[in-house]
Amino acid sequence: MLVLVAPGQGAQTPGFLTPWLDLPGAADRVAEWSDAIGLDLAHYGTKADADEIRDTAVAQPLLVAAGLLSASALTATLEKGRAAFGAVAGHSVGEITAAAYAGVLSDADALSFVRTRGLAMAEAAAVTETGMAAVLGGDQDVVVAHLEKLGLTPANINGAGQIAAAGTMEQIEALVAEKPEGSMKVVALKVAGAFHTHHMAPAVATLEKAAQALAPADPELTYVSNKDGHVVTAGAEVVARLVGQVANPVRWDLCMERFRELGVTGIIELSPGGTLTGLAKRALKGVPNVALKTPDDLEKAAALVAEHAA
């Protein structure tokens, strides 16, 4: 059983969209999306530097656009199309990509919603200087207790020995100076705010209003929510979770446990792939995976699908 996953913020790198725009029709689609949401996705995905695409209001729509482009390119190569996948899930903003692929949202609604999300979260992040850092290694309970002692939130419990802490920059600096017992290191993340914490509460109210304009359909694929790893079968609930999730921790560890329970035999990560397949290599050992970094990876992904398709 194949699972399709979409990465979250921090996965972006300068120029990563460039090769995808060479695919037939891709540049036109991105131009249409850019006009619709008032953001030059092609520019930011090809010419912008790391600091420019670190901006939350830019990074989030850019990631969803890249995910949708790579998903479309992959699906076009598959005999069964989307039906080749047994389940779909996304990490943080990647959940919007996953919702679109599962048929809950149209591509246009997904881009409009993520544009609102990015702007609202950027505005919330500007209130207080905040950030995130990944703690690598160590016992999960020990790490979480240490973070809470410092006033930090375990915002992303990713499994495979990785927890992303979020809070004020002073709290992050204290974490760097005093890492949890048993952990290997602390790494600053390429994000501009304490996402999935109470600092994002103002963004929830904005998204609640934006969600009223959506007409979600029920998922056509098994949709695994990163709130708790549960399978969600109603489109309205998917959207409600997308709204609330910006201020609550991501439990990717529970998503991977759900993949295992569902009988996962292969994982494909949409562009810009690498982060989630890296976690899977450690937490779901022996499960083959392909990360879509450039269109050159489509052939490998199609081969994996041919071997493991539902």
In tens, the pLDDT along 154-199 reads 999 999 889 999 999 999 999 999 999 999 899 988 787 899 999 9
pLDDT value of position 300: 97
pLDDT of 308 strictly over 90? no
Strand-strand pairing, 289-291 and 266-269: parallel
Q: Please check whether residue 40 is in contact with residue 61, taking contact to mean a CB–CB distance below 8 angstroms.
A: no
Which residue is catalytic, options 34, 92, 112, 183?
92
pLDDT value of position 190: 76
pLDDT of 207 strictly over 90? yes
What CATH number was assigned to the domain covering residues 2-125+198-308? 3.40.366.10
pLDDT value of position 93: 97
Average pLDDT over residues 209-228: 97
pLDDT value of position 193: 87
pLDDT of 205 strictly over 60? yes
Q: What is the radius of gyration, based on Cα positions, of the chain?
A: 18
Fold of 130-188: Alpha-Beta Plaits (3.30.70)
Q: Where in the chain is the domain with CATH 3.30.70.250?
A: 130-188
One-letter amino acid at 75 equals T
Confidence of residue 280 (pLDDT cuts 50, 70, 90): very high
Beta bridge pairs of residue 268: 4, 290
Token pair 């996948």 is found at 85
pLDDT in tens, 118-153: 999 999 999 988 999 999 999 999 999 999 999 999
Which residue is catalytic, options 91, 196, 199, 308?
196
Average pLDDT, the chain: 95
Residue 179 DSSP symbol: P
The three-state secondary structure class of 272 is: coil
Catalytic residue check, 92: yes
Confidence of residue 310 (pLDDT cuts 50, 70, 90): low
Q: CA of 108: how far to CAs of 115, 219, 264, 300, in Å?
A: 11, 17, 30, 29
Average pLDDT over residues 299-310: 89
pLDDT value of position 189: 84
Q: Please check whether residue 155 is in contact with residue 148, taking contact to mean a CB–CB distance below 8 angstroms.
A: no
Q: At CB < 8 A and 24+ separation, what contacts does 30-38 make?
A: 30/65, 30/69, 33/61, 33/65, 33/107, 33/108, 33/111, 36/108, 36/111, 36/112, 37/61, 37/111, 37/112, 37/115, 38/115
Q: Where in the chain is the domain with CATH 3.40.366.10?
A: 2-125+198-308
